[in-house]
Amino acid sequence: MARMPIFLCGMMALSKPRLSRARHLQQQGFTLIEIMVVVIVIGVVIGMVTIAVGANDPRTIARKAAEDFMLRTVYLSEQSVLKGETYGFFLEERPLAEVSTEASSEWCYYWRRVRDRNWDALPEFPDDTCLPEGVTIEVMVDERLWKYDPELEFQDPVFGLYPSGDTSGEIEIALFKADAMSAREDDIERITLNLMGELHWITEEDRLGIKRDDRYESSGRRMFR
């Protein structure tokens, strides 16, 4: 029987552990990939759960409603000056078509502009904006609580924005997803609008650590109760 050359025997001897090691590393690589996939899947699931939970959080819901109000009010206050138009803010409490366990009514607001001594719809915001179910809005006008009267045939605006940049009064707004007696201070979004047309989202400024004058501080922290 012919003998295998020594150098071939050596190569085979060396190749066996290398092949074994390569196979082992390959197996380790697949395990790592599998672990990474599992981690990614878990991360996505946790993210989805967090978003779902956050979306139902009273503070998150009230904050989104406050953000929408701020965006429109800032835009219209600028347009009022640029276009020389007067805008009015209207607010109504309407019964829900389907009464839920959270609320039997909803708050809706809309903006109008003066045209031929009438309040006409705005092309930018022709539709009404209704707050999320269960979210309440309370408005103080010149330190008096504004109340909606459903018996009135024609509703007056809660406040107005003038071409001069001024407003019709000192306005304080509170938005919260609860009734006024049980709402925590941290769950209430507060907004102020003074006679000079200066608009402040008090709660957001507090979150960002923005300092304000004492007159804004005192008005912004008044409790609507």
Quick: pLDDT tens for 105-150. Answer: 899 999 999 998 899 999 989 889 999 988 999 999 999 999 999 8
Residues 104 and 69 in one domain: yes
pTM of the model: 0.69
Residues 135 and 214 in one domain: yes
Residues 155 and 69 in one domain: yes
Residues 25 and 132 in one domain: no
Structural domain total, the chain: 2
Residues 63 and 123 in one domain: yes
Of 23-32, 79-88, 122-131, 213-222, minimum mean pLDDT range: 213-222
Quick: pLDDT tens for 53-62. Answer: 455 677 888 9
Tokens 């991360």, located at residue:
43
Specify if 96 maps to a domain.
yes
Residue 180 tokens read as 């006024």
Specify if 1 maps to a domain.
no
In this prediction, residue 213 carries a pLDDT of 63
| Mean pLDDT value of segment 86-113 | 86
| Mean pLDDT value of segment 63-87 | 95
Residue 5 tokens read as 């050359």
Residues 77 and 160 in one domain: yes
CATH code for the domain in which residue 162 is found: 3.55.40.10
Residues 15 and 84 in one domain: no
Quick: pLDDT tens for 155-192. Answer: 999 999 999 999 999 999 999 986 555 667 778 999 99
In this prediction, residue 177 carries a pLDDT of 84
Residues 114 and 101 in one domain: yes
Residues 109 and 152 in one domain: yes
Residue 83 tokens read as 């276009």
Boundaries of domain holding 33: 7-55
Question: What are the distances in angstroms from CA 160 to CA 24, 42, 64, 138?
Answer: 75, 51, 23, 17
Phi, psi of 99 (to 5 degrees): -70, 130
Torsion of CA 62, 136, 169, 192, to 10 degrees: -20
In this prediction, residue 53 carries a pLDDT of 46
Residue 111 tokens read as 């903006």
- Give me the amino acid identity at 183: A
